Amino acid sequence: MAVTAIGVFDSGVGGLSVLKHIRAALPQHDLLYVADSGHVPYGDKSQDYIRERSLALTQFLVDEGAAVVVIACNTATAAAAAFLRERFTLPIVAMEPAVKPAVAATRSGVVGVLATVGTLESSRFAALLEQYAGSVEIVMQACPGLVEQVEAGELDSAATRVLVERYTQPLIARGADTLVLGCTHFPFLKPVIADLVGPEVRLIDTGEAVARQVVRKLPAAAKSGEAPTERFWSTGDLAAARRITSKLWGRAVAVDAP
């Protein structure tokens, strides 16, 4: 019997940061990843548009054999998680910005959240703040342009550093000692962010927590005795997708059109 496959999708390559945590937690399972880079970023799209794309990508992963689907995108989670759970019987694992652990971690009582406009304006994010913020001040910062920098593989360019400094400095000036990376693309910018905000500021993302949830939700499966595989697809330019995916995944991989 084949091992159980885990399907993951994102607006682009950012969800590879989550996929790495899933691979570390589940080394024996096959992984299926589809990047919707032909439609990135989701942050400025309508909810209906994001639901339509999320439905198409989830159906694709199911057709490819996924037993669990992970929405490795905070914006898509906010727009489409409930919608997808109404339409599919398999487990749908979703993302949310790490407000709860950030509130627990802050010493200054100020937490900054770096995310897309779509995430910050969502009712799901508002509910997170109401549930977990308490007396902690949450300072929100939309980050237009950062997703596109990661999609281009520009992880440490001068232009990327300018954007990161533009978005982080107002949060640090407000006293934030903890920053939530509220987009799956942003963990790939951790070295630059850490360099610009300094060692005293803690950076928190949710990839590891999502991997733990996948472990809990995964149906039992026999081991096939074969080496686990990873398969990648992109709706964007395939030459660029192969280059960027290989760079972010850490080794050369093939990327196909879905």
Query: With 50 as the cut, is the pLDDT of residue 1 above it?
Result: no
Residues 6+ apart with CB under 8 A from 34: 7, 8, 9, 57, 60, 61, 232, 233, 234, 235, 258
Share of the chain above pLDDT 90, in %: 92
Q: What is the pLDDT of residue 2?
A: 53
- CATH 3.40.50.1860 in the chain: give the residue spans: 5-95+208-256, 99-205
Higher pLDDT: 226 or 239? It is: 239
Task: Kindly calculate the radius of gyration of the chain based on its CA atoms and give it in whole angstroms.
Answer: 18
CA distances from 83 to 53, 74, 79, 207 (A): 12, 14, 8, 22
Q: What is the pLDDT of residue 219?
A: 78
- What integer is the mean pLDDT of 35-42? 95
Contact yes or no for 116/143 (Cβ under 8 A): yes
99-205 has which fold?
A: Rossmann fold (3.40.50)
Q: What is the pLDDT of residue 100?
A: 95
Question: What tens digit of pLDDT does each residue of 191-223 get?
Answer: 999 999 999 999 999 999 999 999 999 876 545
Q: Mean pLDDT of all residues in the chain?
A: 95
What one-letter code names the amino acid at 13?
V
Q: Alpha-carbon distance 194 to 196, whole Å?
A: 5
- What integer is the mean pLDDT of 109-116? 97
Known catalytic residues are 73, 183
Provide CATH code, domain 5-95+208-256: 3.40.50.1860
Report the first-to-last Cα separation within the chain, whole angstroms. Answer: 25
Q: HSE-up of 226 (CA within 13 Å, CB side)? A: 9
What is the pTM (predicted TM-score) of this model?
Answer: 0.94
